[in-house]
Amino acid sequence: MKSAWNLVGMALWLLLICYFAYIIHDMRARRLRLIVTEKKSFTWRNFWISCGEVAIFLLFLWGMSYTTFFQDVKKLDTNRTTTSYAYKPLIIRYRADQSDYVTVRNGNGRKPIQNYTYYVNGGKYLVDSTNATVVYGKSNLNVQAETYKWNKEYLDHLDTRYQHAWVATVTTTYKKNFFNGIGLHAGRQADRFSLIRIPDKSFMNVVGD
């Protein structure tokens, strides 16, 4: 477990499950009492009590589901997340026919995803186009990368220092606190995005259709 604060979320989900079991038991018990005491299987009072119990359950289910599964990390304030940046120069791969900094493998299907393979000092990395992008030419940012906060002056410095061949990675992590624990996110990585910069398209080896 990344943080003990996540026990808060686990406890809340357990309470929600227990409440759901209680609702089923209570509905059945009230109906049986009606049949025994009033010789009826339905009354409006009993119906509205059941509706209220279900409404409360659905409200808390929506709240827990949203907090756990559907939060947009980009819209959270800095009290909820921390952001770190890492910058490394790319290592060129020399080959007889073409030398490249990154290999792009195109996927198939209606919404194909590209896979990018690149090398830096310390290893080989494989990322896909859902959390990475390749930029070349005069600008070191594109539309996809612009959605993240970058120090553009430092990116220009990287262009000069590494001859337009580097990778910048931004990582967002949930802080270890009570509110993140509710959604079971405390201490967990929220988002990771890599900006792969190459001088021009000739340094990109494209594989596939």
Q: What is the pLDDT of residue 209?
A: 56
Look at residues 50, 70, 90 and tell me which one is the last residue of a structural domain: 70
Burial class from Cβ neighbours inside 10 Å (0-12, 13-18, 19+) for residue 97 reads: exposed
Question: Are 123 and 186 in a shared domain?
Answer: yes
Q: Are strands 115-120 and 102-105 parallel, antiparallel or unpaired?
A: antiparallel
β partners of residue 172: 83, 191
Question: Are 117 and 43 in a shared domain?
Answer: no
The three-state secondary structure class of 14 is helix
C-alpha torsion sign, points 178, 184, 187, 193: negative
Look at residues 43, 70, 97 and tell me which one is the last residue of a structural domain: 70
Question: Are 79 and 179 in a shared domain?
Answer: yes
Q: What is the pLDDT of residue 1?
A: 65
Query: pLDDT digit of tens for each residue in the chain (209 aa)?
Result: 679 999 999 999 999 999 999 999 999 999 999 999 888 888 999 999 999 999 999 999 999 999 999 988 877 778 899 999 999 999 999 887 778 999 999 877 677 789 999 999 978 999 999 999 999 999 999 999 999 999 999 999 999 999 999 999 999 999 999 999 999 999 999 999 999 999 999 999 998 75
Question: Are 196 and 98 in a shared domain?
Answer: yes
Look at residues 26, 51, 70 and tell me which one is the last residue of a structural domain: 70
Q: What is the pLDDT of residue 41?
A: 84
Global pTM value: 0.83
- Cα–Cα distance, 67 to 9 (Å, whole number): 10
Domains contained in the chain, number: 2
Which residues, other chains included, contact 83 with Cβ-Cβ below 8 Å and sequence gap of 6+? 149, 170, 171, 172, 173
